Structure 1
């Protein structure tokens, strides 16, 4: 399958959207990836899962935020999800994207 260029932003509101069109917005950090339709679909699924978990963490209408152990577990799970997102961004990323990720020190040593 042939790979196409797509753009990913990690804005919490639209995190799971991978677009074929670059948004020209100086406030938005976009990462360029090269992916097959299947890779794009799998990455969107991962982004959606991480974003859904972030929304769960933001739910202040429960008393879960008083349980420090639960908060730590939730935070660690969310961080693992973000690490997976950056690993996938690096794997599918163009050279420019890989450089951006290296600059912010988010490259997994196993890659």
Structure 2
């Protein structure tokens, strides 16, 4: 591991997903991913997570009739899913070997559309 990099723990629980921690949480109900990142990479990843998390439940849509508009709802869902794909791609890039294996096993990494045979 590069000396400028440090181990961090990321969980994607909607309540606490924007917290990347130096400390592993010993909770059997929580899935944590271990990453190795510089401080700058960690901060960039936290910004990405916060941005995606904002689209999970757009507060403005709760107090309007936008949630009844299928096109708006579909666009919000698509934007959120694209963001989650970006998060899993970043997790894989920064992840330790164990994290990369977890993500590969549950097929959360985006597949390249240029793969032969697609």
Matched, 1:49 2:51: yes
Deviation of 1:55 (Å): 2.5
Secondary structure of the 1:11 match is: coil
Q: Tell me, in whole angstroms, the C-alpha distance in 1 between the residues paired with 2:87 and 2:8.
A: 15
Q: What is the TM-score normalised by the length of structure 2?
A: 0.88
d(CA) in 2 for partners of 1:7, 1:55: 24
1:57–1:74 contact (8 Å) kept in structure 2: no
Counterpart-to-counterpart distance in 1, 2:19 and 2:11: 8
RMSD: 1.5
Asked if 1:38 is matched to 2:40, the reply is yes
TM-score, L = length of structure 1: 0.93
Quote the Cα distance in structure 1 between the aligned partners of 2:61 and 2:23.
32
Which protein is bigger by CA-based radius of gyration?
2
Report the Cα offset of residue 108 of structure 1. Answer: 1.8
Is contact 1:6–1:33 with CA below 8 Å preserved after alignment?
Answer: yes
Moved over 6 A (4+): none
CA-to-aligned-CA distance 1:32-88 (integer Å, 9 cap, x gap): 000000000000000000111113179533211110011111100000000000000
Which of the residues 47, 65, 68 maps onto 1:66?
A: 68
Count of aligned pairs between the two proteins: 110
The residue that corresponds to 1:77 in the other structure is: 79
> Residues 19 and 85 from structure 1, CA distance in 2 versus in 1: closer, same or farther, beyond 3 angstroms?
same
Q: Which runs of 5+ in 1 are unaligned?
A: none
